[in-house]
Chains A and B, each alone.
Chain A
Amino acid sequence: GEDVEQSLFLSVREGDSSVINCTYTDSSSTYLYWYKQEPGAGLQLLTYIFSNMDMKQDQRLTVLLNKKDKHLSLRIADTQTGDSAIYFCAAANRDDKIIFGKGTRLHILP
């Protein structure tokens, strides 16, 4: 079945760009998502990309999709302390099921 992999931890200095990477295995995945989970809260959809796109930009967020390599990335420009959270990559497979990665904890250094 579908597997979604991402690194567990990323540390970035405030003001720098953060890049969180994700790989998935099912090439038929239709939608790919980035969710954000702040401490003590549930997950919230941050952004998404449809599989026929290769890039999506939304203010400080840029999503890049390389379908050939099944690689998804989330770039956060000008990282702020409020961006400190766990970021989950997720892929919707052909059975309408969303498969989540384990989450990347983004730590902001002052």
Chain B
Amino acid sequence: DVKVTQSSRYLVKRTGEKVFLECVQDMDHENMFWYRQDPGLGLRLIYFSYDVKMKEKGDIPEGYSVSREKKERFSLILESASTNQTSMYLCASSSSGGDVGYEQYFGPGTRLTVT
């Protein structure tokens, strides 16, 4: 069973704080993704990584950075948290190709509130 875990389910931070969201997958997947989910906007891709130390900007990278030092771990960093970054953050991983193409496996999400 593929497992994607995220470090926290709920997080409350103050404006201006540096925030780290951690994601770990145990299936040796090459690809990892960070999304944010907001009501009425669905899932929006922030960053993704297709290999260790590689990263690509998604649709809304501003205000975020990422780190992938090990294959199983992908971190999302909010350098200086702002209230408009209050959201649900979802991590996902996938292998390349296979029977279902690029099926993404999702973590449970981290609900971040910035006050």
Seen from chain A, the residues whose Cβ lies within 8 Å of a Cβ on chain B are 8, 30-31, 33, 35, 40-45, 48, 50, 88, 92, 96, 98, 100-103
* Contact of A42 with B4 in the complex, beta carbons under 8 Å: yes
Roughly how many angstroms separate A35 CA and B106 CA in the complex, as a whole number?
10
Roughly how many angstroms separate A83 CA and B4 CA in the complex, as a whole number?
23
Nearest 6 CB-CB pairings of A with B: A102-B42, A42-B106, A31-B101, A43-B106, A100-B43, A42-B108
Q: Which residues, 78 to 104 on B, are CB-close (under 8 Å) to A?
A: 90, 92, 94, 96, 100-104
* With A33-B100, A102-B41 already in contact, 15 other A-B pairs whose C-beta atoms are closer than 8 Å: A30-B101, A31-B101, A33-B103, A43-B92, A45-B104, A48-B100, A50-B101, A88-B42, A96-B96, A96-B102, A98-B94, A98-B102, A100-B42, A100-B43, A102-B43
Roughly how many angstroms separate A45 CA and B102 CA in the complex, as a whole number?
11
> How many residues does chain B have at the interface if contact means C-beta atoms less than 8 Å apart?
19
Q: Which residues, 35 to 75 on B, are CB-close (under 8 Å) to A?
A: 40-43
Roughly how many angstroms separate A92 CA and B109 CA in the complex, as a whole number?
22
* Contact of B103 with A43 in the complex, beta carbons under 8 Å: no
Roughly how many angstroms separate A33 CA and B99 CA in the complex, as a whole number?
13
Roughly how many angstroms separate A88 CA and B106 CA in the complex, as a whole number?
13
Among the listed A48, A100, A102, A103, which residue makes an inter-chain contact with B101, where contact means beta carbons less than 8 Å apart?
A48
